[in-house]
Amino acid sequence: MILSLNHVRKVFNPGTVDENVLFDDFNFSMEKGEFISIVGSNGSGKTTMLNIICGSLPIDGGEVVIAGKNMTGKHDFIRYRSIGRVYQDPTLGTCPNMTVLENMALAENKGKPFGLGFCVGKKAEERYREMLAPLGLGLEDRMHVRVGSLSGGQRQAMSLLMSTMTPLDFLILDEHTAALDPKTAETIMILTDRIVREKNLTALMVTHNLRYAVEYGSRLVMMHEGKAIIDIKGEEKKRTTVDDLLGTFYSISVERGN
């Protein structure tokens, strides 16, 4: 088991008229090698769950276990030593005032001690070119260009590659195609699937795109009011269609009087 959320409780605005118990005795687990797509309406708990896993949001009860270690109460920077995360905003995963080469070097040295010496040698630069070339975005020819001048799609592709350059317990994809145009989003999803497969990664993807949730990954989870109301994999997931998920969303909307 690579991840376990055990009896998690999360309350927002406790003790006020706006108190909201989002998670109450919530349990969730993830096996090594799984690629899970998570869908759900706004406020269902998708992103909150990611922030709890990463440690950027504390919990009010329960525990977070990652790779067999109880990480409850541990700071986010400690957890990120073995977690890669690609954000919705393409600007958050790279350093805009540094070059493509410098960004790659920084990512490769994540978690390693820093000392005096050359940051990037010729062999490293050539290695980075070889990593970037399969992306098909021409980044291997722009090694000395500042990342801030790249397109959103190029930056997101870099973020994806950089987040997987060091050994990971798992990769978190936080609506990482939501801010991109449809064509670029499709390119990033194809790259995502390829990188996850080639590197045999364990991945957790939150998305509002139901087609991506159906087409990609080995397991699909739908969240609603802090609960996993759908959790399918294998043949059951393969048989699931976008219309099936839309039907569930429609049922939830009717139940809530919308």
pLDDT of residue 97: 94
Residue 257 has pLDDT above 80, yes or no: no
Degrees to nearest 5, angle at CA 40 with 72 and 71: 10
Residue 32 lies in a domain: yes
What does the pLDDT read at residue 258?
46
Residues 158-171, mean pLDDT to the nearest whole number: 92
Total domain count, the chain: 1
- Stretch 55-81: mean pLDDT: 94
On average, the pLDDT of the chain sits at 91
Q: Establish if 68 belongs to a structural domain.
A: yes
pLDDT digits (tens, 9 = 90+) for 94-141: 999 999 999 999 898 887 665 545 556 788 899 999 999 988 899 999
Would residue 230 count as lying in a domain? yes
Tell me, yes or no, whether 111 lies in a domain.
no
Is residue 103 in some structural domain? no
Please give the pLDDT value at position 116.
Answer: 46
pLDDT at 7 > cutoff 90: yes
Domain span at residue 241 reads 3-95+150-256
Q: Which pLDDT score is estimated for 81? A: 87
CB 156 within 8 A of CB 176: yes
In a domain, 16, yes or no: yes
pLDDT digits (tens, 9 = 90+) for 223-232: 999 999 999 9
> What is the CATH number for 244?
3.40.50.300
112 is a domain residue: no
Q: Is the pLDDT of residue 210 over 90?
A: yes
Q: What is the pTM of this model?
A: 0.89
Q: What is the pLDDT of residue 135?
A: 87
Asked whether residue 221 is assigned to any structural domain, the reply reads yes
Alpha carbon distance 43, 50 (integer Å) = 13
Model confidence over 25-58: pLDDT tens digits? 999 999 999 999 999 988 899 999 999 999 999 9
